Chains A and B, each alone.
Chain A
Amino acid sequence: MAIDIVRAENLEHALELLARDGAQARPLAGGTDLMLRLRAGRLAARTLVSIADLSDLAYVREQADRVELGALTRVADLITHPVYSREFPAGARAARDFASPQIRNRGTLGGNVGNASPAADNVPPLITFGATVTLQSKRGGRSMPIEDFFEGPGRTRAAPDEMIVGFQVPKRPGAFQFFAKFGSRNANVISIASAALCLRLDGETVREARVAYGCCAPVPLRARRVESYLSGQRLDERLIAGVREAVLGDIKPIDDVRGSRRYKELLVINATEDALRGALESVRKAA
């Protein structure tokens, strides 16, 4: 079956093409996921609407209380952007650990989210920052918390005529941020599991905890049990020792080619404990 590629001139044009072709059309950004799906015969669309040249949607913009990210921002540009790495070191870390230089130069943030893989590395940190995703279609715009955007592997709440245009990421001044990815080597691997934490601390008390895991559920997972276990508590060895039960209550990893369920459980439990120890150390150092 022949696939047609149509280059959108601007956002209006892209939305027009998506509205016209309905489920037959899909946005094509960097193509680093779509090309492989096309070649594996796992692409239902007949028309790919190329949005890669919509440079108006490639930006990192700082506002007083938040940072706005355009859907077409390349992963490489998240790493080098001074505002993103200053405000969201854990997000920049995830971007650095992502794929290879070549793929970071082409792959976009919108594509990473739109692909809806439970292994998408940029997503767990964005969940912990409380990011929202903004969708646009000819019918209008809407936004939702990023953790609500995913329905299952490869499935999102975006309608066929809707495109991700950007993300709003609230600043987290002074928060302790953490991201760790585990793979079979340091570069160019899909995560076996990943963990992100963003903690607002008041002395040694956890005022607010936001926690997310990759590859631990059919979608990138916001770990609400871990969050409520930690929130309002004193950060000490006893709290750290008890976190594993909360983690196991949240996650449901599966055995797959990259790792066993048990291995993934251990990875994210260890990562969570490491993050909490790191946070404790950082407040003690600051005191």
Chain B
Amino acid sequence: MNLEEITLKINGAVRSAPMPSAIRLVDALRRLGYTGTKEGCGEGECGACTVLLDGRPVNSCLLFAKQVQGKEIVTVEGVGRGHPDGMHPFQKALVAAGGVQCGFCTPGVVVTGAHLCDTRPQASVQEIKEALAGNLCRCTGYAKIVEAVQVAVAELGKQS
């Protein structure tokens, strides 16, 4: 298979490697060492592979890496950048609330949830649930994830 140089901007760093033209973003990220991003279903259903693309949550299993060269990609490894201890308040709140069990959904939940806290701090419980509708969790029952969003929003409000 012909490889070509694919260059991605991940969490502010420029990374590049020879890869197949049609490689998916989720595979490219993992090859480049960003193994926080998980593949669950590979079909856009579960959200485990969620990353931010130019500031919006998307499924990296449905993206061709080559299509997103030069765009800002944020993975779970980059969500805490610029926060004390390198952890976003939502990550801390998720730990404190017990919103992590087996952990498979967690990287996607962290990316979606932190983005929600940062962009829509006024979201109602219903809106929080809708924002997380693309992230399936088989373990927690979601209540603690929703709670963690509310705690993190309050924390972010205090910081600003």
Flag if B21 contacts A5 (CB, 8 Å).
Answer: yes
* B124 interface hit (Cβ, 8 Å): no
- Assuming A2-B21, A38-B22, is B67 touching A7 (CB within 8 A)? yes
* Interface of A toward B, CB cutoff 8 Å: 2-5, 7, 28, 30-32, 35-36, 38-39, 48, 50, 52-53, 76, 99-103, 105-106, 186-188
Q: A3, A7, A36, A101: which contacts B43 (Cβ < 8 A)?
A: A36
Contacts of B37 in A (CB 8 A): none
Chain A interface, DSSP helix/strand/loop, else mixed: mixed
Q: How far is the CA of A187 from the CA of B61 in the complex (A)?
A: 18
Flag if A31 contacts B62 (CB, 8 Å).
Answer: yes
Q: How far is the CA of A37 from the CA of B50 in the complex (A)?
A: 20
Flag if A188 contacts B67 (CB, 8 Å).
Answer: no
Q: A4, A32, A101: which contacts B57 (Cβ < 8 A)?
A: A101
Q: How far is the CA of A112 from the CA of B133 in the complex (A)?
A: 20
Contacts of A28 in B (CB 8 A): 64, 67
* B20 interface hit (Cβ, 8 Å): yes
* B97 interface hit (Cβ, 8 Å): no
Contacts of B66 in A (CB 8 A): 5, 7, 50
Q: How far is the CA of A112 from the CA of B153 in the complex (A)?
A: 35
Flag if A101 contacts B133 (CB, 8 Å).
Answer: yes
Flag if B62 contacts A106 (CB, 8 Å).
Answer: yes
Closest-by-CB residue of A relative to B136 is A188
* Interface of B toward A, CB cutoff 8 Å: 1-2, 20-22, 24, 42-45, 47, 50, 53, 56-59, 61-64, 66-67, 69, 112, 130-131, 133-134
Q: A2, A48, A76, A101: which contacts B1 (Cβ < 8 A)?
A: A2
Contacts of A35 in B (CB 8 A): 24, 61-64
Q: A4, A39, A105: which contacts B56 (Cβ < 8 A)?
A: A105
Q: B21, B44, B67: which contacts A102 (Cβ < 8 A)?
A: B44
Closest-by-CB residue of A relative to B70 is A53
User: Measured between C-beta atoms, what is the minimum distance from B66 to chain A in Å?
Assistant: 5
Q: B43, B57, B64, B133: which contacts A186 (Cβ < 8 A)?
A: B133
- Assuming A2-B1, A100-B47, A188-B45, is B22 touching A106 (CB within 8 A)? no
User: Measured between C-beta atoms, what is the minimum distance from B124 to chain A in Å?
Assistant: 15
Contacts of B130 in A (CB 8 A): 101, 187
Flag if B59 contacts A106 (CB, 8 Å).
Answer: yes
Flag if A50 contacts B44 (CB, 8 Å).
Answer: no
Task: Return 28 A-B CB contacts under 8 Å, by A number.
Answer: A2-B1, A2-B2, A3-B21, A5-B22, A5-B67, A35-B24, A35-B64, A36-B43, A38-B22, A53-B67, A99-B44, A99-B134, A100-B44, A100-B133, A100-B134, A101-B112, A101-B131, A101-B133, A102-B47, A102-B134, A103-B134, A105-B53, A105-B56, A105-B58, A106-B58, A187-B134, A188-B133, A188-B134
